[in-house]
Structure 1
Amino acid sequence: MRLFIALTPPSELRSRLGELADAAHARCGGRRMPDGNLHLTLAFLGEVGDAQASELIDWVSGQTVEPGEWRLDRWGCFRRPGIVWVGGAPDPILSRLQQGVWGTLEALGLGARPARFVPHVTLLRRAVTFERQGLPDVALAWSYNKIALIQSITDDRGARYQALAESQS
């Protein structure tokens, strides 16, 4: 199964991110991410076997996350895959959280941490253009205190995400 560890936004923030996705889609084209798929990836794991998935479910369920607040204040893009996103610099707590998650994952033999962490929420994939002019200003605060282990399920309707476990709050 295809897994990742992420922060999932509370419903009010998810709604606001959806509004930004609508604005970006109208301006940049491409494929808009469904509101239910909006998240901040801390660690992408890719394909994971059932035994390791079970171990990850237990690990995530037993975690307690230090509360933090991430400020989203900019638009960005990864041009080559046509991804349009909103994000911001990681606060120290978010950086420690991401590093701690990767420390555990490496100890479990689940890959190596990426060279850099660009915290962002993907709003569009396969954007035709990236034109910041005319996009609304981004000024959001994301208070978080949990992580989730999420499975990406792909079918004829596209990808949808299902939480397999959440940490304690």
Structure 2
Amino acid sequence: MVEICTKSLCQAAALLLAAGLLALGVNAIRPDGIPLIGDWSPEARLSLENGTNLSIPIEEAEALFFSGEAVFLDARDASEYASGHIYGARNLPWMEFETAFEKVMGDVGRDVVIVTYCDGEGCGLSRELALALLAKGYTHVRVLVNGWTVWRDRTLPVDVAGGFGLEPE
């Protein structure tokens, strides 16, 4: 019995090894292969091919907010937006971009600074929204990584389900 289990484990290990080697080989010859080593930080994920980085530090976003020089866009769905968002931010859910774009962005010029945000360091909605806005011709689009959380943590103005406030929920 032990001999059979050992033989089965060896066969399974050999199959896994063969599958892994095959996957690595196919990935290596594909022109669009996945890099095995890379920088997956939020800043690196927000770097464009031309070297431009879309991320904006919270201090810069705060200054733009208080000067009124930027439009803030919440990329989360309507229910998350309704439960709380940056004060004055507009809601343009990434999943509804095509249908809601004109209504939300119709009065925003292509040269206005736009700050997109969602919640969580790994949230990609704000990045996707920023890229879509760039593709539509907006020239000054930035992404506030983990925007909702960092905004609240700094006790900056928010609109929460109970009304306007400065305190985190």
Report which of the two structures shows the higher radius of gyration computed on alpha carbons.
2
Same structural fold, with TM-score higher than 0.5 when normalized by the shorter chain:
no
TM-score, normalised to structure 1, is 0.25
Comparing both structures, which one devotes a greater share of its residues to helix? 2
Comparing both structures, which one devotes a greater share of its residues to strand? 1
> Which structure ranks higher in relative contact order (CA pairs < 8 Å, sequence separation ≥ 6)?
1
TM-score, normalised to structure 2, is 0.25
